[in-house]
Structure 1
Amino acid sequence: MRALTYHGHHDVRIETVDDPTIQQPDDIIVKVTTAGICGADLHLYRGKNSPMKLGDILGQEFIGEVVETGPEVTSVRKGDRVVVPSVIACGRCFFCKRGQHAACETTAGRDGGQSDRHIPPRAALFGFGHAHGAIPGGHAEYVRVPHGNVGPRPILDSLTDEQAIFLGSSLPASYQAAVEAGIGPGHSVAIFGAGPVGLLAAACARMLGAEQIFVIDHHPYRLAFAEKHYDAHTINFDEVDAPEQEIISRTAGRRGVDTVIDAVGFEAKGSTLETVLSKIKLEPGSSIALRQCLAAVRRGGHVSISGAYWGTTSNVALTEAFDRGVTLTMGQAHVHPYLSELQEHIAKGALQPEKIISHGMSLEEAAAGYLIFDRKEEECRKVILRP
């Protein structure tokens, strides 16, 4: 089959590789019909995060048709059109039983942890390297899907591929951030980052009843999109020295917003010092987005982090956050618990994730898609691939 493989920083290639096969009795094989390039994929493309080996197949967001099932698979059948969560979960462990599938302690294997080897690692992820289970990803013609009775979900007939592709990763990440933050009618929300997750977070916040939404980024075309489609107040941080102060000045009583969503994470555009420290490996990433999030939220407010952080993060004003009683939630999207309700929201028209797609390309063009998405060329918001 044809697949997108990793060959080093900013070097991905379409190659012919072996077709996947059933390895466990509850495996399934999915023929990929549509895949998406995520911001998380760019972390690997740029040489961040998870250890990668030459030839690893990328891609954590994909949908397709079940073409083969192991003898113990009962939840899906050959011919089913399914979405596959980016998170691979067993469905049986302590965390899976609590709906915390991204914390599954069985699928990543012994070497799947990132920091404390004395606790079980978090769940494996498709196409995300050897610290996350070393499971080949979905930027390919076919994918082996472990735990076929737990992850894959049939897609509603009324949903198009362009709508359903977001269900495996991007949309659950945005929705989880909004739901965990308790966004509801009349709330004010600030979203740092107008990439796919940030834009979808704005859509979720609006659907949940938020009255005032701020979106902060430095790409004018993405800010214009947020303003047009989600009626957001936009702030370009290249033009405003202190976006958090701009937000506060436009909220009732200058208290700050009820909720902030950090959809940027450790690759935020930071100060010159942070950029230098990151390049010489003394500072894993910028904490500027998180600092601004904590500064923009009101007393007793909520900061929900969907953007990935890696390693240590310095210069975060936890003293101020403590003084103001700020609640912090964060983590990998659990995906599985949200699939049914998100499909219903899309089917009813309450969410229209397909709006953010800017580029549709063939799998053979995937390397060009990564380059365009990484460089933000051609007003790129979201790239989908079709094998």
Structure 2
Amino acid sequence: MKALTWHGKHDIRCESVPDPKIEQPRDAIIKVTSCAICGSDLHIYNGVIPEMHSCDIIGHEAMGEVVELGSEAGGNLKVGDRVVIPFTISCGECFFCKRGFYSGCERSNPDSKKATEVWGNSPAGLFGYSHLLGGYSGGQAEYIRVPYADVGPIKVPDGMTDEQALFLSDIFPTGYMAADFCNIQPGDTIAIWGCGPVGQMAIRSAFLLGAERVIAIDTVEERLEMARKGGAETLDFRKEDIYERIMDLTKGRGADACIDAVGTEPLMSSGLDAVIDRVKVATFMGTDRPHVLRQAIHCTRNFGTVSIVGVYGGFLDKIPFGSAINRGLTFRMAQTPVQSYLPLLMSRIEKGEIDPSFVITHTASLEEGPALYDTFNNKKDGCIKVVLKP
């Protein structure tokens, strides 16, 4: 089969690789009909995710048709079903899965010892995302093996297009979770850093959950325009002082909740701290660039919430924790336990409350994928979200 494979920084190739096979009784093989390039895939593309191996198949947003099932994978699935695949791999039976914390699954990461050395404990395995997280082959391919298929994939209703359902794999649940973490009350103002795909989903989710006002921060005009179409007020961080503007817009109080939908590689380059972050990472003296997180903390009102869904990998420098503790901030963050959100969000799509396909700007073949990684990474051609059709 053909798949997109990683060979180093800025080196993604479309290659022929062996077809996946059933390895465990609860496996399924899915013929991929649509997959997407995620913003967090760009961290892999830019070489900042550790434990990537040459020829790894990447990608964690995928859906398709069931073509083979292991002897214990049936559950509600049968050959021929259209399904969307959560990016989190979860057994459904461990301490965390039973409590709905599927992204903390204790059984699905075969490389848990490596992860524990880095993070103190291991999260769930993820598709196409580093051997710290299981080294599973990803979904930017013609076929994908799905472990624990009786727990993960969810059927797509007849009449729902791939474009509507695909983002249930990651960015819609992640954006929705970001807003859900904010405990939104009537009249609330939510500030969101990053108007990429997750940020766009967070904007619309915040309104679905009752926010009165959303302030969205970015600098790419196409992203800001899409945010405005979703009802947000927008700020360009290269043209305005974000802290001063948010204080002005909230009459000096700060946003009720702030969402960091950017993570470790911000474009946010204004400010001395951002310059220092870049120098530290470039000289191997730091692992992440948390400028956005610092700013979000300062812009949150007293006893407000900071919701973090941007990807961070290691140890963060100069976090204003004194501000957080003295002002009573609440922090909520996670890799999304997608399975917990799927039934609700599928229902919202079916009812017409949201159509996640609004975020797509580019649709292409798998063979065009490597070039579109560059396009997406460099914000060229108005690129916000890429969907690939294997």
Structure 1 counterpart of 2:74, which letter? T
Identical positions, percent: 43
For the 8 Å contact 1:113–1:122, the answer to whether it is kept is: no
Q: Distance in 1 between matches of 2:127 and 2:111?
A: 17
The alignment partner of 1:39 has SS state of coil
Matched residue, 1:334: 337
Task: Name the amino acid aligned to 1:351.
Answer: I
| Cα separation, 1, equivalents of 2:185 and 2:88 | 27
Amino acid in structure 2 at the alignment position of 1:178: A
Letter in structure 2 aligned against 1:245: E
Which amino acid in the other structure matches residue 388 of structure 2? L
Aligned partner of 1:367 in structure 2 is 370
User: Corresponding residue for 1:128?
Assistant: 129
Measured after TM superposition, the shift of residue 279 of structure 1 is 0.8
Residue 178 of structure 2 contacts residue 309 of structure 2 at CA under 8 Å; is this kept in 1?
yes
Match for residue 308 of structure 2?
305
Cα distance between partner residues in 1 of 2:264 and 2:114:
19
Deviation at 1:120, TM superposition (A): 4.5
Alignment check: 8 A CA contact 2:111 2:131 kept: no
**AA at the equivalent of 2:294:** R
2:262 corresponding residue in structure 1: 264
Cα deviation, 1:11-47, whole Å, max 9, x if unaligned, reads 0111111111101111000000000100111111110
Relative to structure 1, the CA distance from residue 112 to residue 44 in structure 2 (aligned partners, 3 Å threshold; closer, same or farther) is: farther
- Structure 2 matches for 1:181-330, cutoff 5 A? 181-227=182-228, 229-240=229-240, 242-251=241-250, 253-268=251-266, 269-270=268-269, 271-330=274-333
Q: Which segment is superposed worse, 253-262 or 83-92?
A: 253-262
Whole-angstrom distance in 2 between the partners of 1:154 and 1:249: 46
Q: Please state how far the C-alpha of 1:74 moved relative to its aligned partner.
A: 2.3
* Distance across 2 between alignment mates of 1:118 and 1:57: 24
RMSD, aligned α-carbons: 1.3
The answer as to whether partners of 1:62 and 1:168 remain within 8 angstroms in 2 is yes
Against the structure 1 CA distance between its residues 221 and 117, is the aligned structure 2 distance closer, same or farther, given a 3 Å change threshold? closer
What does 1:40-51 correspond to in 2, within 5 Å?
40-51=40-51
Q: Is the 8 A contact 1:51 1:130 kept in 2?
A: yes
> What is the aligned length?
384
The answer to whether the Cα contact below 8 Å between 1:25 and 1:72 also exists between their aligned partners in 2 is: yes
For 1:95, the equivalent position in structure 2 comes to 96
DSSP 3-state at the match of 1:51: coil
CA shift for structure 1 position 116: 3.9
**Does the Cα contact within 8 Å between 1:124 and 1:135 map onto a contact in 2?**
yes
Q: Which residue of 2 aligns with 1:53?
A: 53
CA contact (8 A) 1:301 1:327 kept: yes
In 2: Cα distance, 1:112 partner to 1:309 partner: 19
- What CA distance in whole angstroms lies between the structure 2 residues aligned with 1:83 and 1:366? 20
Aligned residue type for 2:316: T
2:356 to 349, 353, 360: 353
Give the Cα separation in 1 of the matches to 2:312 and 2:148. Answer: 28
Instruction: Say whether the 8 Å CA contact 2:84–2:156 is kept in structure 1.
Output: yes
